[in-house]
Structure 1
Amino acid sequence: MKIKANGLELEVEDSGADGTQAERPVVLLISGLGLQLTDWPPALVQGLQDAGFRVVRFDNRDAGLSTHLDALGVPNLLWVGLQHRLGLKPRPPYTLEDMARDALGVLDALGIARAHVVGMSMGGMIAQRVALLAPERVLSLTSIMSSSGARGLPGPDSRILKSLLQRPPSGSPLDLVEHYLRIFTAIGSPDFHVDEAELRARILASVRRSHSPAGTLRQMAAVIGDVDRAERLGRIRAPTLVIHGKADPLVPYACGLDTARRIPGARMLGIEGMGHDLPSGVVERVLPALIEHLRAASPERPGATEGAHP
């Protein structure tokens, strides 16, 4: 369903839309760079519902079926990156704080006062921004395979950069599937098997649903331009769980460790053999820790609509 938030139309999927889960504590899932709400593993979404949570997912701006801001143009990432390296403050088309306001707008539109906020990759950065912007709205924070954004942290290794910089020969579904298959294989978890046919099918479904390379570049500019988040993470008071793969070649494990170090009382869960994805074997390890974290931070008598924002 579409909702209006922060001046945009955002595509939302809410497991409580029929009213049967209205009194459950809410988990808001925030997707990563270029990803869609459909990219959250079904087993993770179902596992949260089976554990008694109402799960809300949405397409970020410039992704999926939400508003695409093509009028803002395509940013020059080389220039944005150079500004960052020179210690200047880049001016991306929009910021991660804007995207955090989108997430809060989703809660407002659904009448949800407080939620557990869970983000993966770029979504983890947005989740951190949500916890900074509106601490009273955040029951707990979970940052998965993400980063504090602090200067000096390691970046992707050279083979990953090479994969990311390659472009598909055309925009045909076949070429796009092969392109993203190479990327997901390069950044994936080395110790957890992913069936190639299943991965191809998921990529094809995603491409057919929406494909916006320019939107992904605008999101990437927002990530690069978010230069002062790390220094503010010490203000977060929400119970925080940081989950990160020890074999992550895109956002190295040190980035997760730094995030946990900066957030007071944060708990760190490092997973051996996990890369920058959530295959079924990783989900099996993540779910118990995540559910324990969410339950510990849930109110004894949760009410999703109590004190709801209009």
Structure 2
Amino acid sequence: MRATANGIEICYEVFGKPTGRPLLLVMGLGMQMIGWDEGFIDLLVDAGHQVARFDNRDCGLSTHLDGAPDLTAVYGGDASAAPYLLDDMADDTAGLLDAMGWTNANVVGVSMGGMIAQALAIRHPGRVRTLTSIMSTTGPRVGRPTEAALAMLLTPPSSSRNAVVERALASWQVIGSPGYPMDAERIARVAGMGYDRSYDPRGTTRQLTAILASPDRAEGLRGLAIPALVIHGEDDPLVTPPGGAATADAIPGAKLLTFPGMGHDMPRALWPVFVEAIAELTGREAAG
């Protein structure tokens, strides 16, 4: 389905019954909504949720902007060179809630999606019932990537479908979970599907400039009064563990769950644990 929100068009999909607790999934940098595995979504639906996933701006089948952003300038501290900020992406998300007819929702964001979810909770009080921030951080200066992860992130884009799939598999070797087996079939399938749906490396770069140019959210998070859960891998090289710790420290009463052997991905073996923790959070809020 498509919705007009905050001046752009957003592609989204809804799973489960309308009677379920509304839960919105927000994906990370350069990842389309298909990055949220339907097996994981099924677990969330079975746990009592109605689940929505969507393509962020500059990704998938949502609106793509134009122009080549000056990543070097933004990385050097010139925030004005970014075409938009995470706050704008949070406003997109609030507009999507309006379009779907959801007064508010439980919001789960991963990586950049966690940053967007945080900004949504800060900027739009009352729209976020509960906040779950997964392998994310309060700002670009906290939880900085390792040199190897940063080098992977800044590698020039691939030019063919096969190269995109190969790069996805190689990237997992750098940022994936060392304590869990690589699901090569799923990684290759999602990467190939993403290329077929919409391949726009400049869009990913524009999203990256939004991350780098956005201010730290810690102060805003301290003003939240909603149930919150922070999930982080103890072996995450892209958003290192201090990012998760800072997020949990900033949100009053937030629960922090860390997992040894988990990198910057969501191992299938941990899905039931994640869903149980999320459902406990959303169920507690629904019960008042």
| Aligned counterpart for 1:159 among listed residues 141, 148, 155 | 148
Matched residue count: 288
Alignment match, 1:80? 74
For residue 304 of structure 1, what is the aligned residue in structure 2?
A: none
**How high is the TM-score relative to the length of structure 1?**
0.89
Greater Cα radius of gyration, structure 1 or 2: 1
CA distance in 1, matches of 2:241, 2:87: 24
User: What's the secondary structure of 1:167's corresponding residue?
Assistant: coil
Letter in 2 for 1:125: M
Is 1:235 aligned with 2:229?
A: no
Q: How does 1:1-310 map to 2 (within 5 A)?
A: 1-15=1-15, 21-70=17-66, 73-83=67-77, 89-149=79-139, 151=141, 153-168=142-157, 171-299=159-287
Preserved CA contact (<8 Å) 1:150 1:230:
no
Instruction: In structure 2, list runs of 5 or more residues that go unmatched.
Output: none
SS state at 2:102 partner: coil
Distance 2:105 2:13 in 1: 15
**Contact kept? 1:257, 1:268, Cα under 8 Å:** yes
CA contact (8 A) 1:274 1:282 kept: no
Is this contact kept in 2: 1:192–1:282, CA < 8 A? no
Task: Give how far 1:30 is off.
Answer: 0.5
Q: SS of the residue aligned with 2:178?
A: coil
Distance across 1 between alignment mates of 2:253 and 2:228: 7
SS of the residue 1:297 aligns to: helix
CA gap 1:119/1:165 in 2 versus in 1, 3 angstroms: same
Kindly indicate whether the alpha-carbon contact (under 8 Å) linking 1:10 and 1:61 is maintained by their aligned counterparts in 2. yes
CA distance in 2, matches of 1:163, 1:299: 44
CA distance in 2, matches of 1:236, 1:277: 27
User: C-alpha deviations, 1:60-107, integer Å up to 9, x for none?
Assistant: 00001000011xx121111111116xxxx5441011111011111111
Normalized against structure 2, the TM-score is what? 0.95
Aligned to 1:198, what secondary structure does the other structure show?
helix
Task: Report the CA distance between 1:24 and its aligned residue.
Answer: 2.0
* Mean CA deviation greater in 197-206 or 236-245: 197-206
Q: C-alpha deviations, 1:111-164, integer Å up to 9, x for none?
A: 11110011000000000011011121111000000001164x341111222222
C-alpha displacement of 1:299: 4.7
Letter in 2 for 1:110: M
Say if 1:27 and 1:118, in contact at 8 Å, map to a contact too: yes
Aligned residue for 1:136, secondary structure, equals coil
How many Å separate the matches in 2 of 1:9 and 1:299? 34
Runs of 4+ aligned residues of structure 1 deviating over 6 Å after TM superposition are: none
User: Equivalents in 2 of 1:83, 1:201: separation in Å?
Assistant: 37
SS of 2:60 mapped into structure 1: coil
Seen in structure 2, the aligned counterparts of structure 1 residues 136 and 94 have a Cα distance that, compared at 3 Å, is: same
Does the 8 Å CA contact 2:74/2:213 hold for their aligned counterparts? Answer: yes
